[in-house]
Amino acid sequence: MKLQGIRVVDLSRFLPGPALTQTMADHGAEVIKVEAVAGGEPTREIGEARDGVSVYFANTNRGKKSLALDLKSPDGVEALLRLAETADVMIESFRPGVAARLGVDYAAVAARAPRIVYASISAFGQTGPYRHLAGHDLAIEAMTGVLSLNRGKDGAPAIPGVPAADVISSAMTLSGILMALLRRAQTGRGDYLDMSMADCLLTGVLNNLDTAMVRREQPDLSRSRSVGGNALYAVYKTACGGHIALGGQEPKFAANLLGALGRSDLAAVANLPPGPEQDPLREFLKGTFATRSRDDWVSFFAGKDVPLAPLKTLPEALDDPQFRERGIVATDARGWDHIGTPIRYADEPAAPDWRVPALGEDSRAVLSTLGYDETAINDLVRRRVTGEPSTLEIARHSGSAGSAAGAAEGVS
């Protein structure tokens, strides 16, 4: 696999960091997740669980090793620095200043491991007037203006279903890490990445910044090409109470759609600028789509080269044969669904390990590779500098999953 031989130390929590390190694990990296002795990763306790394992945690931490460390303890910090000396990548998502206060910031780590690629992911980055502000995805979407583009039917801002700041910053940080590793192969030197979720999010609206950049005016959503003004880039209700989405504005798609509906005369309206000028087309489509069910319309337009899609629920998407065939939705030997990796190589494809580590499951094994003997590890456990789960907890978290190969073989 592409990242075989790369060791990653993951201090991050919640979504951006854990998602990107999981992608690295899927492609062969050894990812050691460093968790607090008391409680561990917060997502272990968020949302619904399968056999006591949170789906959220499993979706972002499968295939990793778990090392429990108290980083407020000098001995815990020393263990982490020893680990960093053996690693290629380290990722943290503390608020700016916390890593330095703990003694595990880039300066401290690079002094011991100059080849390391170290990434910090924070809401607004390590510099600037907002660097110390707290903020998860929604606050960042609000601060960047991105939330202003999401409006409900009442015109009020609507909470998006996708945590865009989290997801985009995760992908951008992964890109930055891989670039740094590529450069390190040439220079022998590591580097530091200061990743701001807000910075990354602004790169996601490049197609909607025209009026803001030209005239410093907020886009008029009723005239916007991609967020409400175009009749052929919109969602329509169907007779069954479901919805269909039109996702193509090009003239050829307008011709195909309106020709199939017997209203080629409206093609001229479709070619008008987005906005109220397209209302006759919008009203026609609204009335027409209300006459049949969602699935009837999907059948009607099959083979007609129209970018029309049914608005599916999440359960429907998980069972969709498209996603099943590509393995982006997979089921392991336990019957647990997983989201696979979207990065598909023809050579050396990913091989996700569906197992999910119990808190501290690998503490003893990892520490033993860093020069700690059994007596020293027992002392660290006794003083709660590190921790390990009981045999029962290990069995509860991973006993039915089998080996990595066995789990992979059980994918359907």
Q: State which residues of the chain have pLDDT below 70.
A: 390-412
**What pLDDT is stored for residue 396 in this prediction?**
42
What are phi and psi for residue 288, nearest 5 degrees?
Answer: -70, -50
pLDDT at 224: 83
For domain 224-311, the question of CATH label 2.60.40.1120 is answered with: no
Q: Residue 323: how many CB atoms within 10 A of its CB?
A: 15
Contact by Cβ (8 Å): 151, 228: yes
Strand 89-92 relative to strand 65-69: parallel, antiparallel, unpaired?
Answer: unpaired
Give the HSE-up count for residue 73: Cα atoms under 13 Å, Cβ half-sphere: 15
Contact between residue 409 and residue 340 where contact means Cβ atoms under 8 Å apart: no
Name the residue with tokens 């709660």: 384
Q: How far apart are CA 184 and CA 354, in angstroms?
A: 30
How many CB atoms neighbour CB 218 within 10 A? 11
Residue 39 is predicted with a pLDDT of: 85
Amino acid identity of residue 328, one-letter, is: I
Q: Position 240: which residue type?
A: C
Cβ 308 vs Cβ 257: under 8 Å: yes
Measured between alpha carbons, how far is 368 from 20 in angstroms, rounded to an integer? 27
pLDDT recorded at residue 226 = 81
Instruction: Please state the φ and ψ torsions of residue 227, each to the nearest 5 degrees.
Output: -130, 35
CATH superfamily label, 7-203+325-409: Crotonobetainyl-coa:carnitine coa-transferase; domain 1 (3.40.50.10540)
pLDDT digits (tens, 9 = 90+) for 340-392: 999 999 999 999 999 999 999 999 999 999 999 999 999 999 999 999 986 43
Q: What is the pLDDT of residue 400?
A: 40
CB 412 within 8 A of CB 321: no
Q: Which residue ranges does the chain devote to CATH 3.40.50.10540? A: 7-203+325-409
- What is the number of residues in the chain? 412
Q: How many CB atoms lie within 10 A of CB 322?
A: 9
CA neighbours closer than 13 Å in the CB half-sphere of residue 349: 11
Q: How many angstroms separate the Cα of 68 from the Cα of each of 156, 289, 290?
A: 44, 56, 56
Name the segment(s) of the chain with CATH classification 3.30.1540.10.
224-311
Alpha-carbon radius of gyration of the chain: 25
Residue 395 is predicted with a pLDDT of: 43
